[in-house]
Amino acid sequence: MTTIQKQTGNVLEATRSTTRRPPLYKVLLLNDDFTPMDFVVVVLQKYFAMNREQATRIMLQVHREGMGMCGVFTKDVASTKVEQVVAYARQHQHPLACVMEENE
Protein backbone atom coordinates (compact mmCIF):
# COMPACT_ATOMS: atom_id res chain seq x y z
CA MET A 1 0.00 0.00 0.00
CA THR A 2 1.37 3.40 -1.03
CA THR A 3 0.10 6.84 -0.08
CA ILE A 4 0.06 9.28 -2.99
CA GLN A 5 -1.18 12.85 -3.40
CA LYS A 6 -4.09 13.28 -5.78
CA GLN A 7 -5.12 16.76 -6.87
CA THR A 8 -8.88 17.37 -7.17
CA GLY A 9 -9.37 20.98 -8.29
CA ASN A 10 -7.09 22.92 -5.96
CA VAL A 11 -7.27 20.41 -3.10
CA LEU A 12 -4.53 17.85 -2.56
CA GLU A 13 -6.01 14.64 -1.16
CA ALA A 14 -4.12 11.70 0.25
CA THR A 15 -5.09 8.57 -1.68
CA ARG A 16 -4.02 5.02 -1.00
CA SER A 17 -3.28 2.79 -3.98
CA THR A 18 -2.04 -0.76 -4.34
CA THR A 19 0.40 -1.55 -7.12
CA ARG A 20 -0.19 -5.01 -8.59
CA ARG A 21 2.64 -7.10 -9.88
CA PRO A 22 2.01 -8.28 -13.48
CA PRO A 23 0.82 -11.89 -13.70
CA LEU A 24 3.56 -14.34 -14.64
CA TYR A 25 3.30 -17.37 -16.91
CA LYS A 26 5.04 -20.73 -16.82
CA VAL A 27 6.32 -22.09 -20.11
CA LEU A 28 5.88 -25.88 -20.18
CA LEU A 29 7.20 -28.57 -22.51
CA LEU A 30 5.04 -31.63 -23.08
CA ASN A 31 6.27 -35.12 -23.81
CA ASP A 32 5.65 -36.97 -27.07
CA ASP A 33 6.97 -40.22 -28.53
CA PHE A 34 8.72 -38.78 -31.59
CA THR A 35 10.82 -35.68 -30.84
CA PRO A 36 14.44 -36.78 -30.34
CA MET A 37 15.91 -36.22 -26.85
CA ASP A 38 18.92 -34.36 -28.29
CA PHE A 39 16.61 -31.94 -30.10
CA VAL A 40 14.76 -31.11 -26.86
CA VAL A 41 18.09 -30.49 -25.11
CA VAL A 42 19.11 -28.08 -27.91
CA VAL A 43 15.75 -26.24 -27.64
CA LEU A 44 16.18 -25.76 -23.89
CA GLN A 45 19.70 -24.39 -24.38
CA LYS A 46 18.79 -22.18 -27.33
CA TYR A 47 15.56 -20.57 -26.02
CA PHE A 48 15.87 -20.88 -22.23
CA ALA A 49 19.57 -20.14 -21.71
CA MET A 50 20.24 -23.46 -19.96
CA ASN A 51 23.55 -25.24 -19.97
CA ARG A 52 23.70 -28.83 -21.23
CA GLU A 53 23.29 -30.34 -17.76
CA GLN A 54 20.23 -28.26 -16.81
CA ALA A 55 18.68 -28.87 -20.23
CA THR A 56 19.23 -32.64 -19.95
CA ARG A 57 17.66 -32.70 -16.48
CA ILE A 58 14.49 -30.88 -17.67
CA MET A 59 14.27 -33.00 -20.86
CA LEU A 60 14.43 -36.22 -18.81
CA GLN A 61 11.80 -34.90 -16.38
CA VAL A 62 9.46 -34.21 -19.32
CA HIS A 63 10.24 -37.63 -20.81
CA ARG A 64 9.48 -39.44 -17.52
CA GLU A 65 6.68 -37.32 -16.06
CA GLY A 66 4.97 -36.01 -19.20
CA MET A 67 5.59 -32.32 -18.58
CA GLY A 68 8.28 -29.97 -17.34
CA MET A 69 8.81 -26.26 -16.71
CA CYS A 70 11.23 -24.24 -18.86
CA GLY A 71 10.86 -20.99 -16.91
CA VAL A 72 8.50 -18.26 -15.65
CA PHE A 73 8.07 -15.05 -17.66
CA THR A 74 5.79 -12.08 -18.27
CA LYS A 75 2.94 -12.78 -20.69
CA ASP A 76 4.64 -11.33 -23.80
CA VAL A 77 7.94 -13.08 -23.18
CA ALA A 78 6.22 -16.42 -22.43
CA SER A 79 4.10 -16.18 -25.57
CA THR A 80 7.15 -15.35 -27.75
CA LYS A 81 9.09 -18.32 -26.31
CA VAL A 82 6.16 -20.68 -27.05
CA GLU A 83 5.94 -19.39 -30.66
CA GLN A 84 9.71 -19.68 -31.18
CA VAL A 85 9.91 -23.22 -29.80
CA VAL A 86 6.92 -24.47 -31.81
CA ALA A 87 8.18 -22.81 -35.03
CA TYR A 88 11.68 -24.26 -34.57
CA ALA A 89 10.27 -27.75 -33.89
CA ARG A 90 8.01 -27.59 -36.99
CA GLN A 91 10.95 -26.43 -39.15
CA HIS A 92 12.61 -29.68 -38.14
CA GLN A 93 9.40 -31.74 -38.57
CA HIS A 94 9.11 -32.57 -34.87
CA PRO A 95 5.74 -32.58 -33.04
CA LEU A 96 7.18 -31.04 -29.83
CA ALA A 97 4.46 -29.22 -27.85
CA CYS A 98 5.16 -26.12 -25.78
CA VAL A 99 2.45 -24.22 -23.88
CA MET A 100 2.08 -21.43 -21.32
CA GLU A 101 0.01 -21.38 -18.15
CA GLU A 102 -0.70 -18.60 -15.65
CA ASN A 103 1.49 -18.96 -12.57
CA GLU A 104 -1.12 -18.84 -9.75
The residues of the shown chain that bind ligand TYC, judged by CB under 6 A, are 29-33, 35-37, 40, 59, 62-63, 96
Q: Which of 97, 78, 101 is closest to 87 using CA atoms?
A: 97
Identity of the residue, 23 or 36, whose beta carbon is nearer to ligand TYC in the bound complex? 36
Q: Helical H runs in 1-104?
A: 37-48, 52-65, 75-91
Identity of the residue, 12 or 37, whose beta carbon is nearer to ligand TYC in the bound complex? 37
Identity of the residue, 32 or 77, whose beta carbon is nearer to ligand TYC in the bound complex? 32
**In the bound complex, what is the minimum distance in angstroms from residue 21's beta carbon to ligand TYC?**
29
Cβ of 28: how many Cβ atoms within 10 Å?
Answer: 18
- Phi, psi (deg, nearest 5) at residue 92: -100, 15
**In the bound complex, what is the minimum distance in angstroms from residue 49's beta carbon to ligand TYC?**
17
